[in-house]
Amino acid sequence: MTNDTTTVPAAPHAQAMRTEHDCIGTMDVPANAYWGIHTQRAIGNFTVSGISDMQHPQMIRAYATVKRACAEANEELGLLDHERARAIAAACLEIEGGALADQFPVDVLQGGAGTSLNMNVNEVIANRALEIAGHAKGDYGYIHPNDHVNHSQSTNDTYPAACKIALVDALGPMAEETRKLSRAFHDLADRHANDVTIGRTQLQDAVPMTFGQEFHAFASFLKTDIAELEALVPQLTVLNLGATAIGTGICADLRFRNAATEHLARITGLPIRAASDPIASVTDMSAYIAVSQTVKNLAIHLKKAADDLRLLNSGPHAGFNDLTVPARQAGSSIMPGKVNPVIPECVDQCCFMVFGMDTTVTWAASEGQLQLNAFDPVMAHALLEGIGVLTRAMAMFRERCVEGITVHTATGLRYANSSPSIAAALNGEIGYEHAADIAKEAMETNRSVREVAGERTDLPADRLDALLDPITLSRRLGQTCREHR
Catalytic residue among 116, 292, 314, 332: 332
Q: For each of the chain's 485 residues, which pLDDT tens digit applies?
A: 445 444 545 445 668 999 999 999 999 999 999 999 999 999 999 999 999 999 999 999 999 999 999 999 999 999 999 999 999 999 999 999 999 999 999 999 999 999 999 999 999 999 999 999 999 999 999 999 999 999 999 999 999 999 999 999 999 999 999 999 999 999 999 999 999 999 999 999 999 999 999 999 999 999 999 999 999 999 999 999 999 999 999 999 999 999 999 999 999 999 999 999 999 999 999 999 999 999 999 999 999 999 999 999 999 999 999 999 999 998 888 999 899 999 999 999 999 999 999 999 999 999 999 999 999 999 999 999 999 999 999 999 999 999 999 999 999 999 998 888 889 889 999 999 999 999 999 989 999 899 998 999 999 999 988 999 888 888 888 766 666 55
Cα distance between the two ends of the chain: 92
* Homologous superfamily (CATH) for 419-474: Fumarase/aspartase (C-terminal domain) (1.10.40.30)
Question: Helices 376-400 and 286-312 sit at what angle, rounded to 10 degrees?
Answer: 30
Which pLDDT does position 8 carry in this prediction? 46
Query: Cα dist. 410→195, 303, 321, 406 in Å?
Result: 9, 27, 11, 12
Q: What b/e readout covers 177-194, taking b as 16+ CB neighbours within 10 angstroms?
A: bbbbbbbbbbebbbebbe
- Whole-number Å distance between alpha carbons of 351 and 250: 43
**Residue 334 pLDDT:** 92
pTM above 0.85, yes or no: yes
Q: Residue 473 has what pLDDT? A: 87
- Half-sphere exposure (Cβ direction) of 239: Cα atoms closer than 13 Å: 36
Active site residue 332: yes
Pairing relation of β-strands 26-30 and 196-201? Answer: unpaired
CA distance 327 to 341: 7
Q: How far apart are CA 354 and CA 349, in angstroms?
A: 9
**Phi-psi map region of 324: left, alpha, beta (phi>0 left; psi -120 to 50 alpha):** beta
What gap in Å lies between CA 485 and CA 482, rounded to an integer?
9
CATH, domain 158-407, list 1.20.200.10, 2.40.50.140, 3.40.50.720, 3.30.70.3040: 1.20.200.10
pLDDT (0 to 100) of residue 465:
87
Altogether, the residues listed in the chain come to a count of: 485
The CA dihedral of 66, 372, 380, 154, to the nearest 10 degrees, is 20
Q: Which residues pair with 407 in a beta bridge?
A: 323
Confidence at residue 166, expressed as pLDDT on a 0 to 100 scale: 98
E strand or H helix that includes residue 207: strand 204-210
The crossing angle, in degrees rounded to 10, of helices 342-365 and 286-312 is 160
Q: Give the contacts of 315 (CB within 8 A, at least 6 positions apart).
A: 321
Could you say which DSSP state residue 19 is in? E
- Mention every residue, 6+ apart, whose C-beta is less than 8 A from residue 307: 344, 348
Rounded distance between C-alpha atoms, residue 69 and residue 450, angstroms: 73
Query: What pLDDT is attached to residue 482?
Result: 64
- Please give the radius of gyration of the chain, using alpha carbons only, rounded to the nearest integer: 31
Q: Which CATH class is domain 20-151?
A: mainly alpha
Q: Select from 273, 209, 212, 221 the least CA-distant residue to 242.
A: 273
What is the pLDDT at residue 276? 97
Query: Kind and range of the H or E element at 44?
Result: helix 37-45
What residue spans define the domains of the chain? 20-151, 158-407, 419-474
DSSP secondary structure letter of residue 14: P
C-alpha–C-alpha distance, residues 57 and 101, integer Å? 8
Could you tell me if 260 and 73 are in contact, meaning their C-beta atoms sit under 8 angstroms apart? yes
Beta-bridge mates of residue 19: 28
